[in-house]
């Protein structure tokens, strides 16, 4: 059974700092890994999707890496801003069978960026 763990559970940083969020998963048989952002009481916004054959993806100040063999992914946020404050979730999509839509999520990292 796939398990996804995110560390740390919460992180508070001053504005302008670069930071790294970590995600680990137990089963390396994945199609892809997605990073999402969730604002309080809202739905999820997709930030980055990394295919299992890729090592990293970049979008603006965000960079996500994937090491499938070790079951790890990191989300790097450069020059953090107060507007980055949210819960960040990683999710993996398994291979095989009919698991097309089944994402397994971590518990998330609550990020607070203070001015």
Partner 1 sequence: KAGVTQTPRYLIKTRGQQVTLSCSPISGHRSVSWYQQTPGQGLQFLFEYFSETQRNKGNFPGRFSGRQFSNSRSEMNVSTLELGDSALYLCASSLGQPGFSSTDTQYFGPGTRLTVL
Residues lying near partner 1 in the complex (CB under 8 A) are found at 31-32, 34, 36, 41-46, 49, 51-53, 89, 91, 93, 95, 98-108
CB of 36 to partner 1, least distance (A): 7
User: How far is 80 from 99, CA to CA, in rounded Å?
Assistant: 35
Indicate the residue among 83 and 100 with the shorter CB distance to partner 1. Answer: 100
Indicate the residue among 1 and 115 with the shorter CB distance to partner 1. Answer: 1
How many CA atoms lie within 13 Å of 70's alpha carbon, on the beta-carbon side?
9
CB of 93 to partner 1, least distance (A): 6
Burial category of 28 from C-beta neighbours within 10 Å (exposed 0-12, middle 13-18, buried 19 and up):
middle
């Amino acid at each position: 059974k796939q398990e996804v763990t995110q560390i740390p559970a919460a992180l508070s940083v001053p504005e302008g700092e670069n930071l790294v969020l970590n995600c680990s998963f137990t089963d390396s048989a994945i199609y892809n890994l997605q990073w999402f952002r969730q604002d309080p009481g809202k739905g999820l916004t997709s930030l980055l999707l990394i295919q299992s054959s890729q090592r990293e993806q970049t979008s603006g100040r965000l960079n996500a890496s994937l090491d499938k063999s070790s079951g790890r992914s990191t989300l790097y946020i450069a020059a953090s801003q107060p507007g980055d404050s949210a819960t960040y979730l990683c999710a993996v999509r398994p291979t095989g069978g009919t698991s097309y839509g089944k994402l397994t999520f971590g518990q998330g990292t609550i990020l607070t960026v203070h001015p």
